[in-house]
Amino acid sequence: MLKTAIVGLPNAGKSTLFNRLVGRKAAVVSNIPGVTRDRREGVGRISDLEFRIIDTGGWNNQTNFSLQVIEQIEFSLLSADVIFFLVDAKAQNEQNKEFAKWLKRKTNKPVILVANKCESHRSGNVDYLQFFDFIGPVYISAEHNLGMIDLYDTLAGVIESFIDSSYVIPQSSPTIQVADYLDPEKNKQIPVSRTGTTSDQANEFTKLKIAIIGRPNVGKSTFLNSLLAENRLITSSEPGTTRDSVDITYDHGGKLITLIDTAGIRRKANVTDDLESRFVEKSMESIKCSHVIVLMLDSFVGIEQQDLSIGEAAIKGGKGIIIVLNKWDLINKNDRSKLIKFVKQQEVTRLFLEVPTITISALKAMRCSDVIDKCLEVNEFLSRKISTAKLNNWLIDALNRHTHPLVKGRAIKMKYIAQIGTKPPAFSLICNMPKNVDESYIRYLVNDLRKNFFAEGVPVRLLLKKNKNPYAK
Ligand code: GDP
């Protein structure tokens, strides 16, 4: 099982996060050989993601890091695969910079910057740590159980990147491949067993979760049957990701794909399920649990308000989206281009985003696999990382092509952009007057970012932030 460790200054909220993830019942206290103080370990869980978690707390009342404490943290850095660097985001504490520097020196494992205590809008500023290039930040409130979905997404993204790289240790090799900095002698004494991350789990993590969403009778079941007729069904009885649902996993040319919420599709005889409110509610649940949304439309009916609301929810939730126009076989050749044009226009004017749009006939098994191929492509773009240099070159160019109008005689200055997250790709843009930037200008930047580095159907987030003037009183 993947191992994580929570590190950070005293009072960042490490134990609260530990308890939140592990749940008090599951927490065990273990005495680790070679470490004089106790530390807590347990199995943490966010939704379907399970991982071992080490709380390096236990010295919360200390104001300084003693040697012993440092030893403990170092130990947890060695044994964990992913580190949560927890920061109290309510108070900007310069000591965090020191800690961050030290952390960078000590480990080259993925470190997720977690900004805790973000229960109110005004709290939550960890900009001063952005140059350390940690993953994130993820804004949470461990105490109020906020931001756990973001933590899930970030952690899942990191796990996926392990699998993409050669980081996964084959099952036949029981010992951890230690990083260069690790003293081999010392490593012998430490019972570090990277249990898990077996190939089975690797598959578990790489599974792309797709929600097929569409009004009753658009052809979801027919689509599913066509897909499964051509492909190997892995399991059809997994407990559903959403309430009262069953998910289906199948092998799509060697890639495992989970189709979410297919119970709703199968139990279509149940009339109450077809009620509009239930449809929307179920769709929202499925959106939350998936990576990419397939919004299926009946070509005869086209796109409707409700479909647009679902599209909007998917984009807001940071999910990839593609639109499928089913029953294409029924559409007269002369009407085809008009129909596509109409849907495309709705996407741009209502969703502010062009969405990959695929025409299929589920009944005739036409282009059904293309839908999944497209989902895989969109999903890849969701985790794409762009270098800061490339981004800033793009920014100069984008600002030159279109200048923001003056605001009360003052020029808007945009100085620096950096990627702060993936899944969805998120960017922080430093600006002198973030509140005065036009909505339409932000949209221009977001769309241009997408065109340059991503693809249709990929939501891109841009956060405008004010640069703090250190000399201001
Ligand atoms: P669901 O409620 O979304 O699961 O819809 P179904 O898969 O049950 O399909 C509803 C109806 O549309 C059925 O009568 C299907 O045979 C029909 N249908 C589904 N896909 C197509 C298609 O591509 N072309 C045509 N002509 N009919 C289709």
Lowest mean pLDDT among 59-68, 244-253, 326-335: 59-68
Paired tokens of 75: 């130990």
Model confidence at 398, pLDDT cuts 50, 70, 90, reads very high
In angstroms, the CA 116 to CA 97 distance is 16
Task: Tell me the CA–centroid distance for residue 327 and ligand 1, in Å.
Answer: 7
Which residue from 363, 367, 368, 371 has its CB within 8 A of the most atoms of ligand 1, so it is best to mutate? 363
Q: Which of 212, 217, 248 to mutate for ligand 1's pocket (most ligand atoms within 8 Å of CB)? A: 217
Q: Ligand 1: distance of its center to the CA of 59 in Å?
A: 62
CA of 293 to the centre of ligand 1 (A): 19
- Measured CA to CA, the distance from residue 409 to residue 151 in angstroms comes to 42
Residue 264 in this model has a pLDDT that exceeds 80: no
From ligand 1's centre to the CA of 217, what distance in Å?
6
What are the φ and ψ backbone dihedral angles of 337, each rounded to 5 degrees? -70, -35
Mean pLDDT of 444-454: 95
> Residue 454's pLDDT band (boundaries 50, 70, 90)?
very high
The pLDDT, as a whole number, for residue 163 is 59
Give residue 295's pLDDT band: very low, low, confident or very high (50, 70, 90). Answer: very high
Nearest CA to ligand 1 atom 17: 219
Supply the DSSP string of 17-36, one letter for each residue.
Answer: HHHHHH-GGG-EEE--TT-S
Nearest alpha carbon to residue 280 among 236, 312, 320: 312
Comparing 60-69, 363-372, 411-420, the range with the smallest average pLDDT is 60-69
- pLDDT band at 205, cuts 50/70/90? very low
Residue with CA nearest ligand 1 atom 22: 327
When mean pLDDT is compared across 65-69, 224-228, 230-234, the lowest value belongs to 65-69
Q: Which of 213, 215, 218, 222 to mutate to test the pocket of ligand 1 (most atoms within 8 A of CB)?
A: 222
Taking CA atoms only, the protein residue closest to ligand 1 atom 2 is: 217
Mean residue pLDDT of the chain comes to 78
Could you give the CA distance from residue 346 to residue 419 in angstroms, rounded to a whole number?
29
Task: Say if residue 75's pLDDT is above 90.
Answer: no
* C-alpha distance from residue 57 to each of 7, 19, 88, 113, 336 (Å): 8, 11, 14, 17, 63
Burial class (CB in 10 A: 0-12, 13-18, 19+), 126: buried
Q: What would the pLDDT profile of 130-180 be if each residue is shown by its tens digit?
A: 778 888 888 898 988 888 888 988 888 887 766 554 333 222 222 222 222
Q: What is the mean pLDDT of residues 29-34?
A: 37
pLDDT band at 79 (very low <50, low <70, confident <90, very high): confident
> Is the C-alpha dihedral spanning 424, 429, 433, 437 positive or negative?
negative
Among the residue ranges 29-38, 68-77, 262-271, the one predicted with the least confidence is 29-38
pTM value is 0.59
Confidence at 184, pLDDT banded by 50, 70, 90: very low
pLDDT at 443 over 50: yes
Measured by CA distance, the residue closest to atom 15 of ligand 1 is: 219
pLDDT the model gives residue 119? 83
Q: Check residue 25 and give its pLDDT.
A: 45
Q: In 413-445, which positions are buried (b, 16+ CB within 10 angstroms) versus exposed (e)?
A: ebeebbbbbbbbbbbbbbbbbbeebeeeeeeeb
CB-defined site of ligand 1, < 6 Å: 214, 216-222, 265, 268, 326-327, 329-330, 361-363
Residue nearest to atom 20 of ligand 1 (CA): 219
Output the CA 314–ligand 1 centroid distance in Å: 24
Nearest atom in ligand 1 to 218's CA = 3
